[in-house]
Structure 1
Amino acid sequence: MILNQLINQSAYGTIGYIGSEDDLFKVDRYFAHNREVINKYAHIIIATNFDSEKHINIHNIMCRHHFPNCILLNSTNNRGHNFGTADLDNAIFNYCKKNNIEWLCKSANDMIIHDELLDKEIGEADFYYYMSIGYGWLLEKYDLDLDKFLNDNYFYPQTNFYFINVSKTDYLNDAHYIDETYKYTKSLDNYNGRVWEYIESWSCEKFLKDCVERNNLKTEHLLTDSTYVSLLNFIKDSKSQDPSHKNIMMENVCHLHFPDQNILYI
């Protein structure tokens, strides 16, 4: 089937953080660019963290201008980049669970999606994803041997954009574990905000991987083999440490984290 058939039955769930008027302006630009594609989804859920309430009303008006029937999940309980992200991911996932929405396309407010993505051919799976991989892991674990890497069944999905059959899962992020580890970091002196440096394997990517494996979901990588090899060669040659591949357009999807910088097409 083509991806548009899955989109038509999925919720588009996007997360983000608003801390300034500039953030509002950027999100408005992203939504305007993606509006035609996003409005093809069966449901639209927008989960946002705010440091204060002063930007919420403008944000809500902006969202409803682009997506009149969207569901808004707003929170001023912002626990920072890592914990806040886990909280928002859970908010969208749990909303789908509670409302019997079978498929979720989890995205982020700095993703760019081109119309051509709708025509992508996909097989039958429960989880469609992009891989999270950077130069450091290729060097440390595989000595930059791409054949060895590709034959190792490496699986570490990105959290910025994926499709998951929510009805076949139990939960996404363990809320109790998130709360307890957050309390732990608050007790630390001079905590640097990088939770994975204090608690091994703490990452939203790891939580997503655990969810997929715990529920025995059938997976499919959203990149063709040739594009994936091109991406890996770019990572190897450029020594890119960024596992989320910011500002790289890959088969009509781009994590455009730096909107004023150039985009690399793979």
Structure 2
Amino acid sequence: MANEITVPLLPCRSIDEMVGFYTMLGFARTYYQTRPNPYVSLRREDLRLDFFGMPGFDPEESYGTCVVLVPDTGELFEAFAAGMRRVHGKLLVTGIPRMTRPRKRKNADNVSGFTVIDPGGNWIRIMAAAPVPEEETATGKLTTTLHRAVVMGDSHGKHVRAAQILDAALDRDRDTATAAEQLEALAYRAELALRAEDPAAAGDALARARALPLSGAERDRLAGTLAALDDVEAALRPAP
């Protein structure tokens, strides 16, 4: 048999809250009921997510999760990010809800992935269906440690431990890592600080990253990382 379809059914505190959030990301509501039980279906092209409401549900305690395999994580991330910026004026990078950036996952064959943590505390793990072929490049010690930190911070949600791993590596390799390697590590360090509600550490990592000397070619290659710094800067601005 072929063409089977699996639909995740995930818990939430309020189905209306889920509708608002996922509509921002480009989903449409395809089914909605409040009785006998709150239930909503949301769809964006071939991606469908269903949610059921639970009175007294605490998103911080949620174990809800699912994996979504897509051809291009970068394209979907940018679409979601555009929706967040349109509604909130910035990328949501801290608290619940939030979204991580696409990064290679050492614990998933180095395929690119990012995660949407929705208002129900559900982790929607967006992963590339296949690795993207890349040119062979030498990987420095700092980059190797960054990959470990990404597993800790993005896959396991242990922001503080990931930051500790990265801080030790940034100190160890400050005189040997390339500017490009340091930029990638500092951008992620700033994001981790935001998730840990440590704006001082986020600002420090941001300033160090901005001060790195980069060539024009490096800036072009690292455009996504530089955009991540812009998102950190936006998150640090006081609310109007």
Common fold by TM > 0.5 = no
TM-score by length of 1: 0.28
Which of the pair has the greater relative contact order for Cα pairs under 8 Å at 6+ separation? 1
TM-score by length of 2: 0.30
